[in-house]
Amino acid sequence: MATAPAPTTAAPAPAAAVAAVPSASVPRGQVDLVDFIDWTGVECLNQDPAHGIANALKQGYREDEGLHLASDSDEQLLIYIPFMQVIKLHSALFKGPEEEGPKTVKLFSNKEHMGFSNVNDFPPSDSVDLSSSHLLESKPVTLKYVKFQNVRSLTMFIEDNQSGADITKIQKIALYGTT
């Protein structure tokens, strides 16, 4: 009878391994920071009202292939994400269509109240040049970790997209790091 509980406790182990498969893109030692976002302060400038930031950033929405964030009047987007506590940002994942997915993403740590008129007045904490394979394969991009140690907020400037189209579409944004 003592051996019966052993297989029962062994059964959850494979289940845990299976549960880890969807999170395979989470870098080792890092967590998805979605639970630390202060949703009341999240803003996105130039978003299409019918395709807002929640579609790409919120858990559940960002996994839905039919939902996406889209720009409105041109290809640029300016996204402000405050956190409920100080975080350390390690990497970011962007998923989007091959043609309309983001290409140049500039990230600013702890820069509030930025607009399109002054976004180029500040040097970014890091700049990422995404390839279409980054967008399709859902691979996180490692950031300059030393620049993102005490992050209270993150501003992302999506400067352009893969093809130069008028509209940028992002299906998923995931931020990975620690608290």
Cα 86 to Cα 94: distance, rounded to the nearest angstrom: 22
> Among positive and negative, which fits the CA dihedral 59, 95, 40, 145?
positive
pLDDT at 157 over 50: yes
The DSSP H or E segment spanning 153 is strand 151-158
3-state SS assignment for residue 5 = helix
CB atoms within 10 A of CB 55: 23
What pLDDT score does 139 carry? Answer: 85
What pLDDT score does 25 carry? Answer: 64
- Tens-digit pLDDT profile for residues 59-100: 999 999 899 999 999 999 999 999 999 999 999 999 999 999
pLDDT at 170 over 50: yes
Cα 69 to Cα 47: distance, rounded to the nearest angstrom: 7
- Tens-digit pLDDT profile for residues 95-150: 999 999 999 999 999 999 899 999 999 999 999 999 988 898 888 999 999 999 99
What pLDDT score does 21 carry? Answer: 32
What pLDDT score does 83 carry? Answer: 98
Distances (CA, A) of 3 to 8, 12, 65: 9, 16, 45
Cα 31 to Cα 177: distance, rounded to the nearest angstrom: 6
- Tens-digit pLDDT profile for residues 26-53: 778 899 999 999 999 999 999 999 999 9
pLDDT at 6 over 80: no
Cα 178 to Cα 65: distance, rounded to the nearest angstrom: 27
pLDDT at 23 over 60: no
